[in-house]
Amino acid sequence: MKIPFSPPYIDEDIINEVVDSLRSGWITTGPKVKALEEEIKNFSNAKEVLCVNSWTSGAIMMLRWLGLQEGDEVIVPAYTYSATALAVYHAGGVPVMVDTTEDFNISVEGIRNAITSKTKAILPVDIAGFPCDYDEIMNLVNEPDIKKLFNPTSSIQQKLGRILVLNDAAHSLGATYTDGIKTGSETDVAVFSLHAVKNVTTAEGGAICLNLPEPFDNASLYTELRQMSLNCQTKDAFSKSKAGGWRYDITGFGMKINMADINAAIGLAQMRIYPELLKERKRIFNTYNEAFSKESWANIPPAIVKGKESSYHLYALRIKNISEEQRDQVIDEIAKAGVAVNVHFIPMPMLTFFKDKGFKIEDYPQAYQNFKCEISLPIYPQLTEDQLIYIIRSVKHAYNVIVG
């Protein structure tokens, strides 16, 4: 049996939505992008949502909007995909890495210890779709002593008056926080990824959720950022295409990161059935939990803890008391059965680019501990019960061959 790791969910309704774009004669930014923004806005309860061409470009744009200057610091977890920190570099800032906790997510105490007068933003990451401790993080940035330490270097930072919290919600569309608060509405800004392997996809894409406090006007900010995503051009292509609508202006230093309608069509059709897709992901997650919770060597990932619930994006299984080399051997053994698994993630301090910047994995022991024993199992709605049984047997067999 051959089981891929994370194929996209494509049914006839999704195909028809894309075909509708093709037949409309309009395939770049237009009505389907706007419809997708509204779907995500209504689903997440964000105040405004802007769709762009990737999580990375969305994060870069928001950090540029914040007005990072040379030497400004942004706190990120050491355990995440590299885009989290690379976005900071692209925006002109300096990433400051802190260690994670046992649940994969960033340590709030680590954030506190890393804050300096140069700190302008914090980028927590909802690893595998399980939310970070946002009450604690938002309370932290609003503490009088932390706000007193804040030293704004732009008019936007001065207007905010404190450190910005930008949730890297790449994995967590559909996750909930305490009291049913949905990811996308719990921080100043959150950015979802709509990449091909995500719960909802547009092939490539991202969605910026805006929840800035007063005196910011999120509706006005949406308009400003939409323009910024189109090179700060005063008219998008859809408006310019209308008779007599050719004249435009460039009002600032923007980026070209808009999403196209043909991409939005995929996500639009998926969002309409996303509650059902989430139920299927949860079904698979719970099936794995039931199987592996019986094994003394298995450390099952967090799903529902203290009112927080995952989006079930990844099933991040960890094997207790195993070395990195043994973990790799287990993966190789699983592959012999035709089951594709993955590892999320290689901590950034272990990657050449970041090592050359002076980061050392020895400074992030929990990040390494999580990584060295982690194996991500397939989790997507198309998986059948027979396939799940086969995956579970393959993982158990691989453990017994290599370790047991």
301 in a structural domain? yes
Instruction: Give me the mean pLDDT over the 153-176 stretch.
Output: 98
- Is 227 domain-assigned? yes
Q: What is the mean pLDDT of residues 173-202?
A: 96
**pLDDT score recorded for residue 293:** 97
Last residue of a domain, one of 265, 297, 324: 265
Same domain, 146 and 283: no
- Cα distance between residue 87 and residue 334, in whole Å: 34
Average pLDDT (307-323) is: 97
Same domain, 224 and 331: no
The number of domains in the chain is 2
Instruction: For residues 212-241, give the mean pLDDT.
Output: 90
Instruction: For residue 198, indicate whether it is catalytic.
Output: yes
Q: Residues 171, 314: contact at Cβ < 8 Å?
A: yes
Give the model's confidence band at 100: pLDDT under 50 very low, under 70 low, under 90 confident, else very high.
very high
Residues 128, 233, single domain; the answer is yes
Choose the weakest-confidence range: 119-123, 202-206, 237-241, 268-272: 237-241
Domain endpoint, select from 203, 232, 265: 265
Band the pLDDT of 238: cuts 50, 70, 90.
low
Q: Is the pLDDT of residue 229 over 80?
A: yes
What is the average pLDDT score of the chain? 96
Range of the structural domain that residue 339 is part of: 274-403
Residue 96 shares a structural domain with residue 217: yes
> Do the domain assignments include residue 302?
yes
Report how far apart the first and last C-alpha atoms of the chain are (Å, whole number): 24
**CATH classification at residue 121:** 3.40.640.10
Averaged pLDDT, 357-366: 98
* Catalytic-role residue among 47, 182, 198, 396: 198
Query: Does residue 131 sit in the same domain as residue 252?
Result: yes
Do the bridges between strand 206-210 and strand 298-299 make them parallel or antiparallel, or are there none, so unpaired? Answer: unpaired
Q: Which tens digit of pLDDT belongs to each residue from 282-291?
A: 999 999 999 9
pLDDT classification of 240: cutoffs 50, 70, 90? low
User: Can you tell me the distance from the alpha carbon of 232 to that of 353, in angstroms, rounded to the nearest whole number?
Assistant: 32
| pLDDT at 280 (0 to 100) | 98
* Alpha helices, H only, 3-69: 12-24, 31-44, 55-66
Q: Same domain, yes or no, for 147 and 182?
A: yes
**Residue whose C-alpha is closest to residue 403's, from 341, 329, 317, 295:** 329
Considering the domain architecture, whether residues 156 and 31 belong to the same structural domain is answered as yes
129 shares a domain with 48: yes
> Are residue 179 and residue 326 in the same domain, yes or no?
no
Cα three-residue angle 230-233-235, rounded to 5 degrees: 100
pLDDT range class, residue 275, cuts 50, 70, 90: very high
Tell me the mean pLDDT in the region 89-115: 98
Same domain, 72 and 47: yes
Of the three residues 233, 265, 297, the one that is the final residue of a domain is: 265
Radius of gyration for the chain, computed over Cα atoms and rounded to the nearest angstrom? 22
Residue 137 pLDDT > 80, yes or no? Answer: yes
Residue 94 has pLDDT above 80, yes or no: yes
CA 262 to chain centre: 22
Same domain, 217 and 323: no
Residue 1 lies in a domain: no
CATH classification of the domain holding 323: 3.90.1150.10
Q: Are 190 and 183 in contact (CB under 8 A)?
A: yes
Give me the residue label for tokens 């030497």. 71
The answer to whether residues 54 and 180 belong to one domain is: yes
pLDDT band, residue 20 (cuts 50/70/90): very high
| Residue 3 falls inside a structural domain | no
Q: What is the pLDDT of residue 235?
A: 75
Where is pLDDT greater, at 345 or 404? 345
- Residue 5 belongs to some domain of the structure: no
Asked if the structure places residue 6 within a domain, the reply is no
Residue, of 244 and 125, whose pLDDT is higher: 125
Is residue 107 predicted with pLDDT exceeding 70? yes
Whether residue 143 lies inside any domain: the answer is yes
Mean pLDDT of 124-139: 97
